[in-house]
A and B are shown apart, each in its own frame.
Chain A
Amino acid sequence: MIKKAFSKEHFVKLVLISFALSSLLFLFLIFVFILAEGLPLFHKIGLKNIIFGFKWAPTKGSFGIFPMIVSSFLVTIGALIIGAPLGLSCAIYLSEYSGKRLKLFLKPALELLAGIPSVVYGFLGVIYIVPLVRIYFGGPGFSLLATSVILGVMILPTVISISFDALMSVPKTYREGSFAMGATKWQTIYKVIIPSARSGILASFILGMGRAIGETMAVIMVAGNALRIPTSILDPLRTLTSNIALELAYATGDHRLGLFSTGVVLLVIIMTLNYIANFAIKRRVLK
């Protein structure tokens, strides 16, 4: 009887391990596939000509993606400028001010925000944000500004939930100590809680950046996709992700490889961001 139970336990463990490893396998396969497709072009055209090239005309042999790298970072920074203060304020309110019942209502509502498909954000952007930008600020409306606003809203759930966790993990004794010294609530938040949750908050921003830089559908719809580095926040621009999604359908030969090379650059950027975020989180845990 005992032996039978053991073998069943063993079987379950085996099944679970194989499933757990399969997700790792997917990651590995994606990695191998993108590198195998993307690296040959780096070899052929040259790393410098791709990463620092200004001209993207893949059917005519130019594969420069520098404007797109810059644009990707610009929209990401734009998203942070809009999303980070909003998200952090929301997280502070949730963790420090709101009552239990409100928290119970607000948190799931915010998580719902994360579940809205990006095409819906893009659609709302095209219908509302783009015309607003065009009418009140000028330019075609499809712009860095419109993209930043949309992405700023899209990164809110990431920023809020991770910085909320960071704020909540600040021990209660810190707050009590601060109050005991005669500090007001805001002084406590500003001088004690935020500094102690700093690395977690930073991690939430970096993961938000990762989300913004990886977003594709909404960006294609509102960015205008022009190939030049924008000179004002009202200019259209094209990010790395939208370059891939925009052109993959029709691409063959070197053009297709060029898009995979774009993917390699994107992969490297996102991995770096995630690594930095993990580093920030780990440091907090170790402390």
Chain B
Amino acid sequence: MPKLMGTVLLLLMVLPLSFGACSPNGIQSKKHTVTVAGSTSVMPFTEKLAEHFMVDHPDFVVEVQGGGSTAGIQACLNNTVNIGMSSRQLKGEEKILNQIILCYDGISFVVNPKNPISALSLKDVRDIFSGKIKNWSELGWIDRRIDAVTREEGSGTRGSFEELVMKGEEIDDGIMVQDSNGSVKEVVATDPYAIGYVSLGLVDAKVKAVTIDGIGPSIDTIKLGEYKIVRPFLYVTHGELDDSGKEFVYFALSEAGQNVLKKEGLIGAYD
């Protein structure tokens, strides 16, 4: 009995070694796999698209991962994924990738529903985030510090925010930083004195979107070109896509795919 135990123990010790040697790739699946990775802003919408796509195309598996715009672009450059997702424009050497505009997204400024302020000017917002306006009393509410929340350096949403709103001014060091649309929304939803910015598609009853220069963020105002804080959501590919990847992109750009996105509060690529 002890001898048997010894053998088992030995086997257990050697087992991990053998895993390294033979990879589980031996099992061939008949399904076509498309891997998509990148921006956490685009990810929830790609997941929705993938769900609908896989219903119509049972032979396909679409794997969607987050990681961030830059990570997605890098993964695409290294050919580790078929499609990269980006919520910002490509820069520098990234431009060798093909870009497909999936849709457009508005960035809305959100405050807690308890906050009576519902209109701000673009300059107000810029001053809040550059640290010039620090107190809600300066905007006509109570005497309380503003708890502004921004996104982390390198985020696609922050990149678009800096470009469209800050216009060269620096975001103040005392501003809080959260690492996803979801966390920003959570902070604003729980803190009555907070202000942050998130994708238009993620605005719901938990937070209140404020109007900027008198224009509220909505699909209509964006289509009319009145609401200006808009950025594209991109799919990027390195060279020619394989057939299964193409099939997914065709679906995303088709009327059915675009309707899925519109239902989520985004603005179609052709509008």
A130 to B190, CA, bound (A): 9
A246 to B179, CA, bound (A): 6
State whether A19 touches B13 (Cβ < 8 A): yes
State whether A227 touches B147 (Cβ < 8 A): no
- The residue that B10 contacts in the complex, of A12, A220, A255, with Cβ under 8 A, is A12
A16 to B10, CA, bound (A): 10
- The smallest beta-carbon distance between B229 and chain A, in angstroms, is 20
State whether B175 touches A226 (Cβ < 8 A): yes
State whether B179 touches A220 (Cβ < 8 A): yes
Interface residues on B, range: 20 to 34
* Interface check A252, CB cutoff 8 A: yes
State whether B154 touches A247 (Cβ < 8 A): yes
A255 to B40, CA, bound (A): 19
A56 to B170, CA, bound (A): 12
- Residues of chain A within 8 A (CB-CB) of B66 are 249
**In chain B between 162 and 186, which residues have their CB closer than 8 angstroms to a CB of chain A?**
170, 173-179, 183, 186
State whether A227 touches B74 (Cβ < 8 A): no
* Interface check B127, CB cutoff 8 A: no
State whether A250 touches B174 (Cβ < 8 A): no
* Interface check A284, CB cutoff 8 A: no
Q: Main secondary structure on chain B at its contact with chain A?
A: mixed
* Interface check B191, CB cutoff 8 A: yes
State whether A249 touches B10 (Cβ < 8 A): no
A57 to B153, CA, bound (A): 8
Question: Could you tell me how many residues of chain A have their Cβ less than 8 Å away from some Cβ of chain B?
Answer: 36
- The smallest beta-carbon distance between B243 and chain A, in angstroms, is 30
- The smallest beta-carbon distance between A75 and chain B, in angstroms, is 15
- The residue that B176 contacts in the complex, of A55, A57, A236, A249, with Cβ under 8 A, is A236
State whether B176 touches A226 (Cβ < 8 A): yes
A227 to B70, CA, bound (A): 22
- Residues of chain B within 8 A (CB-CB) of A236 are 174, 176
- The smallest beta-carbon distance between A108 and chain B, in angstroms, is 26
State whether A250 touches B156 (Cβ < 8 A): yes
- The smallest beta-carbon distance between B131 and chain A, in angstroms, is 10
- Residues of chain A within 8 A (CB-CB) of B170 are 57
- The smallest beta-carbon distance between B168 and chain A, in angstroms, is 11
- Residues of chain A within 8 A (CB-CB) of B155 are 250
A–B complex contacts, Cβ < 8 Å, 7 sampled? A12-B10, A140-B193, A226-B176, A235-B174, A246-B179, A249-B71, A255-B153
